[in-house]
Amino acid sequence: MNGDSIVRNTAYYTVASVGQKIISFVYFSLVARMLGPVDTGKYYFTLTFTTIFVVLVDLGLTNVLIREAARNKEKSQAYLANVLWCKLGLGVLTYILLVLAINLLGYPVEIRHLVYVSGLTMLFDSFHLSIYGLLRSLGSLKYEAAGVVGSQLLTLIIGTIALFTHQPIICLIAAFTVASLFNLIYALIILYQRYRLYFYPHLDPAILRPFLRIAFPFALAAIFARVYSYIDTVLLSKLASPEVLGWYSIPSKITYAFQFIPLALVAAVYPRFSEFFLVDRERLGKVFVQAIKYLAVIVLPLSVGLFVLAQDIIISLYTVQFASSVLPLKILLLGLTFSYLGFPIGAILNATNRQKTQTVVIFLVMIVNVVANILLIPRLGAVGAAISASIGNLILAVLGYVFVPKVAPVAHWQIGRNLILVLVCALGMGLVVGFVNNYTHYLMAIVAGMVIYPLFLFLFRVVSWEEIRTFTVLFKREKI
C-alpha cells in the first residue's frame, strides 16, 4: 500500500467516523426530546446492556484477522472462514448468555423484549465487523466508511418514522437491527464482487488455535474496558429509576460523541510508536509528549466550553425535562481530559509490548469504578455515576502514565508546562464564552470561543506553525 492510499483511507475513515457520530448524536437527541427521561432511560439501557456482550462474540479475533491477513493476503479466505466459524458458535452462546442475564437480573418484560431484539443487532454487527476488518487488511476503507454512514442514516430514517408515527420503543431498537442486517449484506456483496471472497464458515484447527492464542490478551483487555465503560448504566438501572438513567444518558452521550478525536490521533501515531520503539527511543518519548500536548489543546477548551454552556445546551436541545442532566454533564467534563489523555498512554504501552500492563491497569480501574458506582449511585443517582466515571478516567490515565517512562524517556516537566499553558488558554476562553453567553445566544458564545482560543494559543506561544507542520509528518507512511 502506497502513501497516497494511506492518506485516502485515513480520510475515508475519519470523515465516516465524524459523519457517523454526528448522525448518531442528532438521532439520539431527537429520541430524547420526543420520549422524555423515562423512556429514554429504557432505550439507552437496552443499547448499552447489549453493547457489553458484543465483545464476547468477537474476543479480539477481528484484530488478529486484520494483522494476519495484512501479512498473508493469499490466506485471506482461510482466515476469514475460521473467524466466521468461531463467531457462529460464539454468537449463539453469547445470545443465550444475553437472554439468561437479562432474565436472571429480574428486568421487566418490556426491557427483556427490547434486549432480545437488540441482541440480533449485536450478532449482525459482529459479523460485518470482521468482514470490514478483512477489507481493511486488504487496503480498502472506503467501503467500510460507506457502510458505517449508510447504516447510521438508515437507522435515522427508520427511527424517525417510528418516532413521528408514535410507534413503541421496540421499533426504535429494531431500526438498528434492520440497518445492521443491510450493512452485513452490503459488506458481503463488496467482499465477493471486489475480492472474490465469500461467507464460508470453516474450521481449520491449525489456523484457529494460534488465532485464539494471540487474541486472548486483546479479548481480556476488551472485556475489562467494556465493563468499565458501561457498568454504570447497568448499576443505574438496578439502583435507581429509568428516569435517573435517562438523565444520565444525555451527558454520557455528549461526552462520548467526541471520542473520535483521540481515536483518530492514536490511529495516526500508533505505527510511529511501534517504529520508534525499535529504532529511536528518544524520538518515541518526544512523539508521546507531542501527542499529549495536541490532545490537551483539543480537549481542554472542549471541556471548559461545554462546562460553561452546559445548562443552556441541555435545556435547548433536550428541554427542561432533562435539567437534572446538567450537573452530571459538568462532572463528566471534569474527567474528559483524563479520558482523552488515556488514549495515547494506552497506545504507547500496547505499541511497546506492554499490553499485559495495560490490561492489568484497565482491570484495576474496572474494580474501582464498580465499587464507586455501588457506593455512590444509591446516594447521588446520576451524579454518583458521573463522579465514578471521572474517578475511573483519572486513575486510568495516572496509572498508565506511571509505566510510560519504562518504555521511553519522557520530559515530565515539558508535559506539565504544556498542560498548564493550555489550561490557562482554555480558562481564558471560558471567561469570554461565559461573558458572551450572558448577553447573547449560546451559539454566539461558541463562535466567540472558537475565535479567541487560537489567539490565546499563539499569544502564549503554546503552539507554533512549525510544530503543527512537524507533527503532521507523523501521519505519513514514509520512514521519518
Q: What is the pLDDT of residues 261-292, one digit of tens each?
A: 787 677 667 667 777 777 778 888 888 888 88
Average pLDDT over residues 286-310: 89
Is the torsion defined by CA of 167, 126, 270, 362 positive or negative? positive
Q: Using one digit for the tens of pLDDT, what is the confidence trace for 373-385? A: 999 999 898 899 9
pLDDT of residue 76 exceeding 80: no
307 pLDDT tier (thresholds 50, 70, 90): very high
Tell me the three cell numbers of residue 42.
429504557
Residue 1: which pLDDT band, with cuts at 50, 70 and 90? very low
pLDDT at 466 exceeding the cut of 90: no
Q: Is the pLDDT of residue 38 over 50?
A: yes
CA distance 239 to 228: 17
Task: Report CA Rg, the chain.
Answer: 23
Return the higher-pLDDT residue of 75 and 345. 345
Average pLDDT, the chain: 83
Structure letter (DSSP) for residue 270 = H
Cα separation, 223 vs 217, whole angstroms: 10
**How do residues 428-460 score in pLDDT, each as one tens digit?**
999 999 999 998 888 899 999 999 998 888 888
pLDDT of residue 161: 92
Quote the longest CA-to-CA distance of the chain.
69
Cα dihedral value 235, 240, 241, 244, nearest 10 = -90
Q: Which of 100, 407, 385 lies closest to 247 in space, CA to CA?
A: 385
- For residues 378 and 399, what is the distance between their CA atoms, to the nearest angstrom? 28
- With CA atoms as reference, report the closest residue to 10 among 271, 213, 257: 271
Are 294 and 446 in contact by the 8 Å Cβ rule? The answer is no
- At residue 479, the pLDDT reads 39
Confidence class of residue 478 from pLDDT cuts 50, 70 and 90?
very low
Cα torsion angle, 211, 92, 223, 181, sign: positive
* Weakest mean pLDDT among 3-17, 92-106, 148-162: 3-17
d(CA 175, CA 155): 5
C-alpha cell at 263: 481515536
How large a percentage of the chain has pLDDT more than 70?
91
Give the whole-angstrom CA distance, residue 217 versus residue 316: 44
Q: How far apart are CA 129 and CA 358, in angstroms?
A: 24
